[in-house]
Amino acid sequence: MSKTVDSYRFVDGVTRRVVETWIKMEAPRPIPWTPLERPLSECTVALFTSGGIAMKGDVPFNQDGERQNPWWGDPSYRVIPRSATEQDVEVYHLHINHKYVLQDLNCQLPLRQLEAMEAAGEVGRAADSHYSIMGYLLQPEAMLQESIPAIVRRLKDERVDVVVLVPS
Amino acid sequence: MGLAQREIEAAGFSTIILSNIPDLTAAVSVPRIAAIEHPFGQNVGPAGDGETHLAVLRATLRALEEVREPGSVVHLPFEWPESAEAEHPHPPPPIVGYLLKHPLQVVKLIRRQVPAG
């Protein structure tokens, strides 16, 4: 028996209603497509989470702005080097419990596992840089217009082929 | 995050999203989804369970390799362990406190009509 993932397993009734309505509001649109042109064992892979993760000492994602206006979320991004561990990061995301990432960064940004796959030759290379935004963005325009183009430039500079996104 | 994925794919990268709300992610027409029944904040697996993290990352990348049809959803077989913790944030997010004080505003959230700041 193959599993079908229940999208609502971990959300409350109000959130479910919100999500179901948002789904109905979306109309199908053309899907962008970049085929994988070589085996994964030759690809450079980057990770990108919306877990609100930043390096210690980096500018925090702005949580006070959201506390003052609960409809707003910080649209900026942060770079996480491949060597980062839970010792090196902070979490700024008012919609998730921070303690799990602070215990073990890999539960949201699996850098050690990506390095293990690199060492085993399963992927060509783990990119030098990985990325985080903060996922509570009811109005995603600023993130899409400013943060994503900056991340894309960096992905190109580092000759990344594959991006794995981990939402939060 | 699905909207970000669309932009990155369109810029020339092969992408896959490890989504725990795949119904919503699919609704914004993304190229590839690896669906997973794990809670927010621990999408890859319970904190401390590196073996699951590796298995999930490997399954996600395999799905990326195997998917040929834009918009495909691959449902990963992982079960969230009964013993694993998945607490909500406390305090709850600001929007929750706001809606408790202004319950009629929930309609705006449902319709995604964000009040002008």
Domain with B72, as residue range(s), is 2-79
Please, which pLDDT band fits residue B116 given cuts at 50, 70 and 90?
confident
Per-residue model confidence as pLDDT tens digits over A83-98? 999 999 999 999 999 9
Decide if B19 is inside a domain: yes
Q: Do B47 and A104 touch (CB under 8 A)?
A: yes
Q: How far is A32 from chain B (nearest CA, A)?
A: 5
Angle, alpha carbons B99-B105-B107 (nearest 5°): 120
Best mutation target, B28, B44, B60, to test chain A (most A CBs within 10 A): B44
Q: Do A31 and B64 touch (CB under 8 A)?
A: no
Decide if B98 is inside a domain: no
Residue of chain B with shortest Cα separation from A70 = B95
Please tell me the total count of domains within chain B: 1
Contacts of B41 in chain A (CB under 8 A): 51, 96-98, 100-101, 107-108, 168
Decide if B71 is inside a domain: yes
Percent of chain B with pLDDT over 70: 99
Please, which pLDDT band fits residue A1 given cuts at 50, 70 and 90?
low
Q: Of B31, B47, B98, which is closest to A31 when you measure between CB atoms?
A: B31
Best mutation target, A14, A100, A159, to test chain B (most B CBs within 10 A): A100
Contacts of A163 in chain B (CB under 8 A): 5, 8, 13-15
Per-residue model confidence as pLDDT tens digits over B30-51? 999 999 999 999 999 999 999 9
Contacts of B94 in chain A (CB under 8 A): 66-67, 70, 94
Q: Do B110 and A17 touch (CB under 8 A)?
A: yes
Give yes or no for residue B71 having a pLDDT over 80. Answer: yes
Please, which pLDDT band fits residue B115 given cuts at 50, 70 and 90?
confident
- A24: CB partners within 8 A, 6+ apart: none
Instruction: Provide DSSP, B68-105.
Output: -STTEEEE------TTS--PPPSSPPHHHHHHHHSGGG
Decide if B116 is inside a domain: no
- Chain A, residues 57-116, CB within 8 A of chain B, namely 66-67, 69-72, 94-101, 103-104, 106-110, 112-114, 116
Host H or E run for residue B34: strand B32-35
Domain ranges across chain A: 38-166
Please, which pLDDT band fits residue B17 given cuts at 50, 70 and 90?
very high
Q: Mean pLDDT score of chain A, rounded to an integer?
A: 96
Decide if B55 is inside a domain: yes
What is the Cα–Cα distance from A111 to A144, expressed in whole angstroms? 24
ipTM of this complex prediction, to 2 decimal places: 0.97
Q: Do B75 and A123 touch (CB under 8 A)?
A: no
> Which two three-digit tokens encode residue B31?
């190229």
Decide if B95 is inside a domain: no
Give yes or no for residue B10 having a pLDDT over 70. Answer: yes
